[in-house]
Amino acid sequence: MDLRQLRYFVAVARERNFTRAAQMLHIAQPPLSRQIQLLEEQLGVALIIRKSRPLRLTEAGKLFFEQSLQILGRVEQMQAATRRVGLNQNSVFSIGFVASTLYGGLPSLVRKLRQHAPELDIQLLELVSVQQIPALKEGRIDIGFGRVLHRDPNIADVLLRDERLMAAIPKGTPLAQETGPLQPKALNGCKIIVYPKEPRPGYADHVLGLLHSHDARPAEVQEVREIQTALGLVAAEAGICIVPATARQMRSDVHYRLLEGKDMTSPVILNHRISDNSRYIDLVKQLIGEMYAENPPWLDLAHNYIHEAFQ
């Protein structure tokens, strides 16, 4: 077994098609198929169910795919780190984030991290929550700040806080005539704008699930790609959008009302690889604790439920 075989297998597993995987790898299909067969012979188990269209992985194949991603990611990290040391370059520390966290502490954290670890070349990569998990496993990011819980045993998740949700409402409409908290059921029959459109499941599904649990049945649901588009449509009186409380800073031409209900929140979650023993992971957690202790304006208790570890 060698790294080339792992790369071949990952390509097939992702594309779920030998022809497309071969094209992506710039090789002919027969040698690709042969290498996967050799891999299965070496392991003594089938990795791919070839009779299905598209191809499916066996249970052993799913495990092997997860492990292959981690191995290839670590190899890439090792190569990049070795080059940086040889060229006397700074270490790269990549942070994945969902857009709404830019309004709730991420900029402050990055500034603190630069002050405490000037040797780091900090890179920021916008990724929705479900994209952050494979990015972590492949080594493309070192930590991620997302809003959707996962069940991946290889990724540690740290709940930082639960941020209250608000309804962004077009100004001049009946629901915008008051400023007090809004019962979710008041949105029954309204047009709701959700984001992101894809990939799923994500924040959009979280919001729709909460509305459903409170017997709020939208008359129509429009899916858009990003929060900026959703709020722009609200300003254009195209519907109502549910956003985390810190996102109210994004536009002043819409009306915001908190949603009633202890569960009407969106978690802010720090994700990192369980196997990552980097001191920078501990430093990030330490800096978050210090930042929360400062009680910045965006962390006001009217709009957040702070997790006990950071109180």
CATH of the domain at 50: 1.10.10.10
Give dist(CA 206, CA 212) in Å, integer: 10
Count of domains in the chain? 3
Local confidence band at 90 (pLDDT 50, 70, 90 cut-offs): low
Per-residue pLDDT for 211 more than 90? yes
The per-residue pLDDT for range 218-247, each reduced to its tens digit, is 999 999 988 999 999 999 999 999 999 988
What is the rounded average pLDDT of the residues 293-299? 86
Give dist(CA 99, CA 45) in Å, integer: 42
Local confidence band at 195 (pLDDT 50, 70, 90 cut-offs): very high
Global confidence as pTM: 0.69
Residue 62: strand, helix, or coil? helix
Give dist(CA 137, CA 10) in Å, integer: 13
Based on the domain organization, do 26 and 79 belong to the same domain? yes
Q: Which of 83, 114, 136 is the last residue of a domain?
A: 83
**31 sits in which H/E element:** helix 29-43
Based on the domain organization, do 153 and 234 belong to the same domain? no
Based on the domain organization, do 146 and 171 belong to the same domain? no
Kindly state the tokens that stand for 266. 């969106």
Based on the domain organization, do 170 and 199 belong to the same domain? yes
Q: Cβ neighbours of residue 130 under 8 Å, at least 6 residues apart?
A: 148, 150, 199, 200, 201, 202
Between β-strands 120-126 and 240-244, what pairing exists: parallel, antiparallel or unpaired? unpaired
Q: Cβ neighbours of residue 289 under 8 Å, at least 6 residues apart?
A: 309, 310
Based on the domain organization, do 156 and 280 belong to the same domain? yes
Q: What is the pLDDT of residue 197?
A: 86
Instruction: Match 């497309």 to its residue by tokens.
Output: 20
- Amino acid found at 241: C
Give dist(CA 180, CA 183) in Å, integer: 10
Per-residue pLDDT for 91 more than 80? no
